[in-house]
Amino acid sequence: MTTNLDPLQGRHLDALERSYAELLGRHALDGVLIYSGRPRCHFADDQEASFVAYGHFVHWTGQAQLAHSWLLVRPGQAPRLYLHAPEDFWHLAASLPEEAWVARFEVERGRFETPPALPAGCRCAVIGDVDAGQARALGAELNPPALLAALDEGRVRKSAYEVACIGEANRQALAGHAAARRCFLDGGAELDIQLAYLGASRQRESELPYANIVGANAHGGVLHYQHYDRQAPGASRSLLVDAGHRHRGYCADITRSWAGADAAPAFAPLIAGVTGIKDRLAAALAPGIDFVTLQGQMHDELAGLLVDQGIFRGSAEAAVASGLTRAFCPHGLGHLLGVQVHDVAGRVDAAGRPLPPPATDPALRLTRTLAPGMVVTIEPGFYVIPMLLAAHRGRDDVDWGLVERLADHGGIRIEDNLAVTAEGAHNLTPAFPD
Ligand code: GLY
Ligand code: MN
Ligand code: MN
């Protein structure tokens, strides 16, 4: 079912206007000028890298691809968008979508590689990827850290609109995942699978919230595997697809793992086991739950799986205490999700004080206590990563023969996106079509 997003967006903007007014007052500012950013050219080249707009600009507009544009927010006044849309016979000028927000913004079209002048006497900050000289010329403070921290905090608890956008991004991503799976089972190479994903989810590569990970066989054990083989492997053991979508700037971040026709018998039960861990940890989400504690629960669960599947011949407690589970899964359980795939303020408290991850889990991106409105990923994994297992090779409580048989399958990750509610959590990732 598709939600009508316009009324929700209206309430999202009402709340944003209130929170900016409160926050700017606290920082003794009359306004803030937010730069969307600019694409970079490769060195000594006239070709641009792909571009994503600054998160605080996207928070208001949803426009993740709009470059060189500026948004002036002043309490009590309509937000003013300086839309970079110069007359240009090389490119199609930027245009705005038919969405409710456009009618409540003042829009000025023009050429804005340099910032627009600020209203006379405005005590403004300017934020974003702006030259210090340009900020000085504006008479505005550039990226004041306390303001940025407060604005980041304002993105942590999502409005109903934002949750709905992430839900829609999930639905669109899922069409891609279904096509990717079909292509894999039909014998496609990694590149074919990536193209099937993009085609079915109707997006170009530069619009993805992150580079899709499409890892066949051992490539599934490279956590952020970045290539797409053009040839299908000789044996079809496994596929890991971590692939997303944006809707109105908001990201989906979904991972699924599949067994191929040539998978070892132990592999499919491991996928089912990791899926069960994902489901149980997702069911444990609720306000007041400490995500670092959940990270520990993921390792307890993983230890149980290692024991159940005969990979480890000791107790689950020993698998965790000896560091074995962290060799099989070195990444964090999840992260905040929003207009950035790894959304801001995951490792600070609500007052902006640092909350570093524990020494055992340096890759954990979310160390906060959960609160209603947070959207998080839950993404347990199991991988055979030789460089991490090397430290454990001497031990005789691991079935190394089984580990070797699994090594060519790379790994497993199952990742859903969930919105924390007052009572628990709502899974935004739809069930997979058969
Ligand atoms: N796709 C990156 C991640 O799962 O965090
Ligand atoms: Mn993720
Ligand atoms: Mn992911």
The per-residue pLDDT for range 154-187, each reduced to its tens digit, is 999 999 999 999 999 999 999 999 999 999 999 9
Output the DSSP codes for 201-254. Answer: TT--GGGSSSPPEEEEGGGGGSTT-----SS--SS--EEEEEEEEEETTEEEEE
What is the pLDDT averaged over residues 98-118? 96
Q: pLDDT tens-digit profile of 17-42?
A: 999 999 999 999 999 999 999 999 99
Nearest 5°: the CA angle 420, 421, 424 is: 80
* Residue percentage of the chain with pLDDT more than 90: 98
- Three-point CA angle 43, 49, 50, nearest 5°: 170
Cβ-contact 215, 240 below 8 angstroms = yes
* 3-class secondary structure, 48: strand
Closest atom of ligand 1 to CA, residue 213 = 1
By DSSP bridging, strand 141-142 and strand 238-247 are: unpaired
pLDDT of 2: 60
Task: Give the closest residue to 243 by CA, choosing from 338, 341, 336, 164.
Answer: 341
Q: What is the pLDDT of residue 165?
A: 98
pLDDT(434) > 90:
no
- Among 341, 383, 429, the mutation site with the greatest number of ligand 1 atoms within 8 A of its Cβ is 341
Q: Return the best residue to mutate from 379, 416, 418 for the ligand 1 pocket (most ligand atoms within 8 A of CB).
A: 379
Q: Which residues contact 215 (CB under 8 A, 6 or more apart)?
A: 190, 221, 222, 225, 239, 240, 241, 410, 411
Task: Look at the domain 160-427 and name its fold.
Answer: Creatine Amidinohydrolase (3.90.230)
- Given this model, what pLDDT does residue 308 score? 98
Q: How far is the CA of 199 from the centre of ligand 2 (A)?
A: 22
Backbone angles phi, psi at 316, to 5 degrees: -60, -40
| 420 contacts 371 by C-beta, under 8 angstroms | yes
DSSP structural state of residue 199: H
pLDDT for 1 beyond 80: no
Q: Ligand 1: which atom is nearest the Cα of residue 253? A: 1
pLDDT at 353: 97
Atom of ligand 1 nearest to the CA of 242: 1
CATH assignment of 5-153?
A: 3.40.350.10
- 194-227: pLDDT as tens digits: 999 999 999 999 999 999 999 999 999 999 999 9
- Domain 5-153 and domain 160-427, same fold? Reply is no
Rg for the chain (alpha carbons), in Å?
23
Place of tokens 């570093």: 356
Length of the chain: 434
The mean pLDDT of the chain is: 97
Compute the distance from residue 75 Cα to the ligand 3 centre, in Å.
37
The CA 210 to ligand 1 mean position distance, Å, reads: 8
| Ligand 1 atom nearest to 415, measured from its CA | 4
Average pLDDT over residues 341-357: 97
Give pLDDT tens digits for 221-251: 999 999 999 999 999 999 999 999 999 999 9
Listed by start position, the domains of the chain span 5-153, 160-427
CA-nearest residue for atom 4, ligand 1, is 253
| Ligand 1 centroid – CA 40 distance (Å) | 24
pTM exceeds 0.85 for this model:
yes
3-state secondary structure of 198: helix
> Which residue has the least CA distance to atom 3 on ligand 1?
253
- For residue 140, which of 257, 229, 33, 46 has the smallest C-alpha distance? 33
Q: What single letter denotes the amino acid at residue 412?
A: I
- Say whether 52 sits in a helix, a strand or coil: coil
Residues flanking ligand 1, CB < 6 Å = 210, 242, 253, 335, 341, 379, 415
In the chain, the percentage of residues whose pLDDT exceeds 70 is 99
Residue 158: HSE in the Cβ half-sphere, 13 Å Cα cutoff: 27
Dihedral class, residue 373 (left if φ above 0, else alpha if ψ from -120 to 50, else beta): left
